[in-house]
Amino acid sequence: MSMYFTKEHEWVKVAGNIGTVGISDHAAHELGDITFVELPKIGTVVKQFAILGSIESVKAASDIFAPLSGKVVKVNDALELAPEAVNESAEDAGWMAEIEIADGSELKDLMTQAQYDDYLKTL
């Protein structure tokens, strides 16, 4: 399953019309110990790059942006009690939401893993 990234360090894995969304290992590391993840409500309809949720560490707070437009169909409730999962496994167990993709062509506005790795080098 291929992963795509945003400049704001979200990732999305696409399987059929469902995209699983989270933040990258890089972003999780930059934030430090994560203390809270504000997840979207199921059924929320988001536009690409609009705010999907937010994430807090001890000394920072950032928004999570939707990599793709669509409807939130599932959220990772486990993060409410164990936000540290994002630090431990940002690109797997630390996923945040599943989105029913509205427009697959939006993937062209995202980076591939290789492109994202190059992007990180420029920061």
Partner 1 sequence: MQLIYELSVPGRRGIKLPASDVPSAAVLPEELLRREQAGLAEVSELDLVRHFTNLSRRNFSVDTNFYPLGSCTMKYNAKVLENAAALFAPFHPMTALLPGGADFCQGTLGMLYDLGQLLADITGMDEVTTQPLAGAQGEMTGIMLIAAYHASRGNKAKKKYVVVPDSSHGTNPASAAIVGYEIITVPTAPYGDMDLELFKKAMSDEVAAVMMTCPNTLGLFNPHIKEISDIAHSHDALMYYDGANLNAIMGKVKPGDVGFDVIHVNLHKTFGTPHGGGGPGSGPVGVKKALIPFLPQPRIVMDDDGKLLLETANKGSIGRTANFFGNFGVMAKAYAYIIMLGREGLIQVSEQAVLNANYIKEKLKPYYDLPYDMTCMHECVFSASKQLEHGVHAIDIAKFLIDKGYHPPTVYFPMIVKEAIMIEPTETESKATMDAFIAVMIEAAQAAISNPRALHDAPLTMPISRLDETKAAREQNVCCSG
Partner 2 sequence: MSDSHYCPHTPEEIAAMLAAIGVAGIEELFSPIPAELRAKSFNLPAGMSEFETYARMQAIAADNTQGMTNFIGGGFYDHIIPSVVDHLSGRSEFYTAYTPYQPECSQGTLQALFEYQTAICRLTGLDVSNASLYDGGTACAEAAMMALRVTGRNKIVVDGCVSPFSRQVLKTYLFNLDVEVIEIAPQKGQLDRGALASLLDDSVAAVLLQNPNFFGTVEDFTTLADQVHDAGALLIGSVYPIALGILKSPGEVGIDIAVGDGQSLGNPLSFGGPSFGFIAAKKTLIRNMPGRIVGETVDRNGTRGYVLTLQAREQHIKRHKATSNICSNQGLCALRGLIFLSSVGKEGLADLARLNRDKAEYAKAQLTSIPGVAVLQSAATFNEFTLYLSKNAAAVVGLLLDKGIAAGVPLGEYYEGAENCLVVTVTEKRTRKEIDLFARELEVALCN
The backbone torsions φ and ψ at residue 32, rounded to the nearest 5 degrees and listed phi first, read 85, -160
Strands of the 34-38 sheet, one edge to the other:
34-38, 51-57, 61-65
Binding mask 60-89 for partner 2 (x = CB under 8 A): xx----------------------------
Query: Minimum Å distance from CB 37 to partner 2?
Result: 11
Query: Minimum Å distance from CB 82 to partner 1?
Result: 9
- Burial profile 77-105: b = 16 or more Cβ within 10 angstroms, e = fewer: eebeeebebbbeebbeebbbbbbbbbeee
Query: Minimum Å distance from CB 31 to partner 1?
Result: 11
The Cβ of residue 11 has, within 10 Å, a number of other Cβ atoms equal to 25
Give the one entry of partner 2, partner 1, none that residue 83 binds, where binding means its C-beta sits below a cut-off of 5 to 8 angstroms depending on kind.
partner 1
Query: Minimum Å distance from CB 1 to partner 2?
Result: 32
Nearer CB in complex with partner 2: 50/61: 61
Residue 23: closest CA among 8, 10, 41: 10
The footprint of partner 2 (CB under 8 A) covers 35-36, 56-61
